Amino acid sequence: MDIIGLTAQDKTRFFSGVKALPIELKAKITSIAKSFKKLGEDDPRRLTHSFKVGLALSLVSLLYYAKPLYDGFGVAGMWAVLTVVVVFEFTVGGTVSKCLNRGFATFLAGGLGIGADYFASLFGKKGEPIVLGILVFLLAAAATFSRFFPRMKARYDYGLLIFILTFSMVAVSGYRVDELVLLAHRRLCTIILGGATCMLISIFICPVWAGEDLHKAVASNLEKLATYLEGFGGVYFPSCKDEGTGVNSKDGNGNSLFQGYKSILNSKNIEESLANFARWEPGHGRFRLRHPWKHYLEIGALARQCAYNIEFINACSDSDIQASEEFKSKIEGPCSRISAECGKALKALATSMKTMTDPSSAKPNVENSKAAMKDLKFALKAASTENADFLAIVPAATVGSVLVEIAKCVEKISEAVHELSERAHFSRTVEPTVSPEKPPQLLHRGVIRPASDVTNDVHKNVVITIHEISTVSPENETSGQHQVPKPGQV
């Protein structure tokens, strides 16, 4: 014990606590640094964007540092800095829309503000602040209210905000500042300067196009659905894993691939905001000025519809009712074919979107899935067993009808992508090369019809017709369209 009453143990504890603190701090800093690194690795464009903002700010601050520029603009150069910070968005469309909104709103509100000031000055020195106050109140209330219009909110929300801002500032400061027109002129000039800097940097230095992001996002959503559907047959009907239907559930990190579709469920807002920004973008790469961006939203909505069905099928699969293996085996052929063909069709549609080529290669798959739907109907009609326990049949029957709904959805998606390809003038060049790795695919399509209506043993009297249809494999027909786009190409 020393003078302040601490035992040796207390001291050890205290000092080890002091030592432990920096270690904890170090661990925290390391974890933050790691998450920073991950954030950058997930999408390197984020890093580029940050540097672009820094660059724009440094450029604009030249207005202050350079003597001739400062003499021209004075303290108003501050507005350029403000504009850059507020206006610079991640995508080109976002930046352009904010710049244009800000520019036009400032111009309009500045003019109106000067007019309001002149009008108020007619009422004498005493009446002026009252009239100005009423005008500011009315205009601000009206503009705020119109921000609630959904269409206004989607496109011109920022413009309305700046309109209120500029009008109030010009009208109010006009009461004290004499050189109002000069002030408004300088402000507009610096805002245009700041906005132009942002637009040029965001368009010409590693641009992030909202339109391209939308295009890729919708295509990748279709791919996620395809991954699930292609794997589904192999998981739900394990016996047909190695058949010729192309079902393969061992897609590397299997489980995470099956969860991919979940992100589609809540994709509406992202898609809508991207489509909204895309409209402001100039033509770029393979997208012209009037690209049918709105049409992507329709494809996105259909993909969501499909994802809802998959979400349901997923919830069903952990049901506590034991499905009848006998019944399952009867419908497994058509069912796994529906899901495999739907998956292939979606993959073909996604590839066609990514490469912006004719999506016709998905048509055979859609037709095959329709045929498989018919087969499923026949199989169900035929699959009457004596000892039918309906309880055991329900789970498999449900999966069958969900797959039918999914197939209908996929057909609609195919139609929508075809319409998009027409509106957006996807190229129709079909390269004649034949990919050698994949042999022409044989589709075993079996139709089972009962010979008599009700008999004691249906199985013996069934006429089984199996067509061996050698469909032209979509890979062969349009192999040139299926290549994965090169990194710089998309």
Of 241, 223, 242, 225, the C-alpha closest to 233 is 241
* Per CB under 8 A, 388 contacts a second copy: yes
- Site membership for a second copy, residue 29 (CB under 8 A): no
CA dist list (Å): 183 to 7, 170, 180, 381, 441: 72, 9, 5, 82, 74
Region binding a second copy by CB under 8 A among candidate stretches 116-124, 215-223, 383-391, 420-428: 383-391
Tokens read off for 360: 């016709």
d(CA 200, CA 198): 6
154 binds a second copy (CB under 8 A): no
Please check whether residue 76 is in contact with residue 183, taking contact to mean a CB–CB distance below 8 angstroms: yes
Instruction: Work out how close the CB of 142 gets to a second copy at its nearest, in angstroms, rounded to a whole number.
Output: 7
Nearer to a second copy, 60 or 350 (CB): 60
User: Does residue 123 belong to the site contacting a second copy (CB under 8 A)?
Assistant: no
* Residue number with CB closer to a second copy (39 or 463): 39
Round to whole Å and give the CA distance between 186 and 88.
21
- 237 vs 261, beta carbon nearer a second copy: 261
Using the rule CB under 8 A, is 34 a contact of a second copy? no
The three-state (H, E, C) secondary structure of 86-108, written as one string: HHCCCCHHHHHHHHHHHHHHHHH
Tokens in use for 92? 């080109």
Q: Is 205 in the site for a second copy (CB under 8 A)?
A: no
CA distance 457 to 454: 8
Residue (128 or 477) nearer to a second copy, CB: 128
Q: Which is nearer to a second copy, 415 or 477 (CB)?
A: 415
3-state SS assignment for residue 448? strand
Site for a second copy in 43-62 (CB under 8 A): 46-47, 49-51, 53-55, 57-58, 61
Q: How far is the CB of 242 from a second copy (least distance, A)?
A: 27
- Closer to a second copy by Cβ: residue 211 or 400: 400
Nearer to a second copy, 261 or 426 (CB): 261
52 vs 347, which CB is nearer to a second copy?
Answer: 52
Compute the least distance from the CB of residue 43 to a second copy, in Å: 8
- Closest CB 330 distance from a second copy, rounded Å: 9
Residue 14 or 36 having the CB closest to a second copy: 36
Write the DSSP symbol of residue 362.
Answer: G
Closer of 376 and 424 to a second copy (Cβ): 376
The minimum distance between CB 353 and a second copy, in angstroms, equals: 23
The residues in 71-110 that bind a second copy, with binding defined as CB under 8 A, are 75, 78, 81-82, 85-86
Q: What is the spatial distance between Cα 158 and Cα 96, in angstroms, rounded to a whole number?
A: 12
Residues from 293 through 332 that contact a second copy (CB under 8 A): 304-305, 308-309, 311-312, 315-316, 319, 321
446 binds a second copy (CB under 8 A): no
Q: Tokens 């995470």 appear where? A: 256
- The reply on whether position 206 binds a second copy by CB under 8 A is no
| Number of helices (H), then strands (E), in the chain | 18, 2
Residues 6+ apart with CB under 8 A from 294: 275
Nearer to a second copy, 437 or 453 (CB): 453
Q: Which is nearer to a second copy, 405 or 477 (CB)?
A: 405
252: left (phi over 0), alpha (psi -120 to 50) or beta: left
Half-sphere exposure of 84 (CA within 13 A, CB side): 26
- DSSP letter at 431? -
Residues 318 and 390: beta-carbon distance below 8 Å? no
Nearer to a second copy, 318 or 468 (CB): 318
CB-CB contact of 462 with 451 (8 Å): yes
Is position 235 an interface residue for a second copy (rule: CB under 8 A)? no
- Binds a second copy (CB under 8 A): choice among 31, 384, 433, 435: 384
**Any contact of residue 239 with a second copy (CB under 8 A)?**
no
Q: How many residues bind a second copy (CB under 8 A)?
A: 86
Among 69, 100, 108, 172, interactor with a second copy by CB under 8 A:
172
Of the candidate residues 255, 390, 432, 468, the single one contacting a second copy (CB under 8 A): 390
Site membership for a second copy, residue 133 (CB under 8 A): yes
| Residues in 453-482 at the binding interface with a second copy, rule: CB under 8 A | 453-454
Given 7, 12, 35, 427, the residue binding a second copy (CB under 8 A): 35
Instruction: Return the ∠ at Cα 341 (arms to 335 and 343), rounded to 5°.
Output: 105
35: CB partners within 8 A, 6+ apart:
none
- Whether the CB-CB separation of 60 and 80 falls below 8 Å is answered with yes
Burial class (CB in 10 A: 0-12, 13-18, 19+), 220: middle
Q: Is 374 in the site for a second copy (CB under 8 A)?
A: no
Whether the Cβ atoms of residue 234 and residue 249 lie closer than 8 Å to each other: yes
Is residue 259 close enough to count as binding a second copy by CB under 8 A?
Answer: no
CA distance 113 to 136: 9
Site stretch for a second copy (CB under 8 A), options 136-144, 202-210, 221-229, 285-293: 136-144
